[in-house]
Structure 1
Amino acid sequence: MITGIHHIAIICSNYEVSKHFYTEKLGFKVIREVYRKERDSYKLDLEINGLYQIELFSFPNPPARTSRPEAAGLRHIAFGVDDLDAMIHKLNQQNITSEPIRIDEFTGKRFTFIADPDDLPIEFYEK
């Protein structure tokens, strides 16, 4: 039976830019980084508070994908935060602009979105 989310896989268009974004700007910890010669591809495993993992992949010339939160397909990734205002402040210090804060009409909780270097929507949802 399913016990939780194991990882989120992201294919990026510029590996070094995305690696910097997720590790330096958002502060994820590198678990391992490997280069797969047969695929001409890097695979970077990232840790979030020791609980979840992002697999960041590079592939030569990946096709573009529609990537807005309201597009068909995988909608977005979301991370819980204790203090949304503090998270937005940290993002602003990194020159990352967030959308205006929204309120979840069912829970009353606040959330916002940013975009990663490939315009992948990332949500921060206040606990």
Structure 2
Amino acid sequence: MLGWAPQGVVAARGADLRVAPLTISAEPAGAPESLGPGTPPPAPLPPGAITSDGRYLVELRGLGVLLHRTGGRGAPTLLWPEGWAEREGAPSDPAVSPSGRRIAVLRGGRVLLLERESGATP
């Protein structure tokens, strides 16, 4: 789940973005709607896990960070920087740059900067 928007819950499964409309009582208010390629996510979503234009989405996994390009455009990119497995603490609080090239992740009390092409910079 990426967050709440006036239209409902915004969720992602891989690169597929969906909005599930809910009533004020959190009851289903219709069928979930898949957002097509190039469709920006509903606002307001918390910043970080998805770019404002909806092109890139970050998913934290124990073995690394998955960067998805939404709209079914290719396989996700796995970022698994050197020393990732040895770091303490679970990864959290991802933030992806608008270009999708850089991702910041909090892990073990430190911010790690990951780059799509080159791995990690401590």
Range of TM-score over shorter length: under 0.3
TM-score, normalisation: structure 2: 0.26
Of Structure 1 and Structure 2, which has the larger fraction of its residues in strand? 2
Q: Which has the higher contact order (CA 8 A, sep 6+)?
A: 1
User: If the length of structure 1 is used for normalisation, what is the TM-score?
Assistant: 0.25
Specify which structure has the higher proportion of helix. 1
